[in-house]
Amino acid sequence: MRAAVVPEAGADFEVVERDVPEPDPGEVRVSVDACGICHSDVFTKEGTNPVVSYPRVPGHEVAGHVDAVGDAVDAWDVGDRVGVGWHGGHCSTCEQCRQGNFLQCENGEITGLSYDGGYAEYMTAPSEALAKIPEALDAAAAAPLLCAGVTTFNALRNSDANVGDLVAVQGVGGLGHLGVQYAHAAGFETAAISRTPEKESLAKELGADHFINAAEVDAGQRLQELGGADVVLATAPSSDAISSIVSGIGVDGSVVVVGVPGEPVEVSAQQLVQSRGGVEGWASGHARDSQDTLEFSSLRDIAPEIETYPLEDVNEAYGRMIDNEARFRAVLEL
């Protein structure tokens, strides 16, 4: 098989030939149809996560179909359409797993970091890490939903917002353009916040009821004029932008951070006290969350805007993602 390998931390990708992997008893082998390129792949590319050993194949937005199953697997059959996301498996025995918090598993694995991911024609993954892909979803469109999609969908559905509440999505990029679609489809009054006025027409097409140009107005003040946001989904990884939007939440409102900035986020305690508000974080989801995301996306015709590349162009595709030039998700087709 062909695989795009990071030979060592910081090195360019090398497209090499490898033996097709054999699944262990509790694993499934996936024939990869498409794999999204996510900013979190930088952990593997640059060696900034201690769980990564080299050489390593990145990729945790994997869409494909079951090619073979291990002897102990009875939940999947050859030919099933499946996806594998960030959550790459859990132990089922630690305290967090016993409480059903599989994403917080103390011994959890991460696809493309703990083991080889989807920048390859085949990969293996634990059976519990797989999500079923609806037949109506194209593989290339489904792939980013295994990370960017489940992250925004899951954060919103686990928030305290109710139908009709004002939900703001800060940033209209790789995460945000999906967040706007999910917020609209869930019945929220949806505001899109961006410093790029050219994105207004896109935001409205995706379902935004309001567009706030943060380069020209105080986004927090504008949200207060709309009644105060019940939830602000912070998708753009900018500490200053996240800090500036806290003033826009209403009573008992919250800022939910899913785009992680490199610097600390400064928050006014007075603003939080006055609003009884909070700043929270949310991280993707486990395999069932991913399947819920895929099913809802299929039901409501929600899809990412993507650029597709062959595996041989992995360095170009990754470069466009890391330079924030991709609109909005780069996907390898295999």
Predicted confidence (pLDDT) per residue in 112-121, tens digit = 999 999 999 9
Q: What is the pLDDT averaged over residues 193-213?
A: 98
Q: How confident is the model at residue 131 (pLDDT cuts 50, 70, 90)?
A: very high
Residue 220, SS3?
Answer: helix
pLDDT at 276: 97
pLDDT in tens, 23-36: 999 999 999 999 99
Q: Which of 254, 41, 285, 33 is nearest to 149 (CA)?
A: 285
Q: Which of 248, 310, 314, 322 is nearest to 279 (CA)?
A: 248
Q: Which of 84, 104, 86 is nearest to 94 (CA)?
A: 104
Q: What is the pLDDT averaged over residues 184-188?
A: 98
Q: How confident is the model at residue 87 (pLDDT cuts 50, 70, 90)?
A: very high
CA distances for 61 relative to 25, 83, 132, 159, 297, angstroms: 23, 7, 13, 24, 15
Q: How confident is the model at residue 67 (pLDDT cuts 50, 70, 90)?
A: very high
Q: CA torsion sign, 23 to 27 to 32 to 36? A: negative
Q: What is the pLDDT averaged over residues 65-94?
A: 98
- Reply yes or no: is the peptide bond before residue 55 cis, omega within 30 of 0: yes
Q: Which of 173, 213, 215 is nearest to 193 (CA)?
A: 213
Q: How far does the chain reach from its first CA to its final CA, in angstroms?
A: 11
What is the residue whose two structure tokens read 């494909």?
64
**In the chain, what percentage of residues exceed pLDDT 90?**
100
Q: How confident is the model at residue 233 (pLDDT cuts 50, 70, 90)?
A: very high
Strands (E), the chain: 2-5, 14-17, 27-37, 62-69, 81-84, 122-126, 130-132, 166-170, 189-194, 210-213, 229-234, 249-257, 278-281, 306-310, 329-333
Q: What is the pLDDT averaged over residues 52-68?
A: 98
Domains of the chain: 2-147+285-333 (3.90.180.10), 150-281 (3.40.50.720)
Q: Which of 91, 115, 121 is nearest to 30 (CA)?
A: 121
pLDDT at 224: 98
pLDDT at 94: 98
pLDDT at 109: 98
Q: What is the pLDDT averaged over residues 205-214?
A: 98
Q: What is the mean pLDDT of the chain?
A: 97
pLDDT at 295: 98
pLDDT at 334: 97
What is the residue whose two structure tokens read 């109506």?
136
Count CB atoms within 10 A of the CB of residue 148. 30
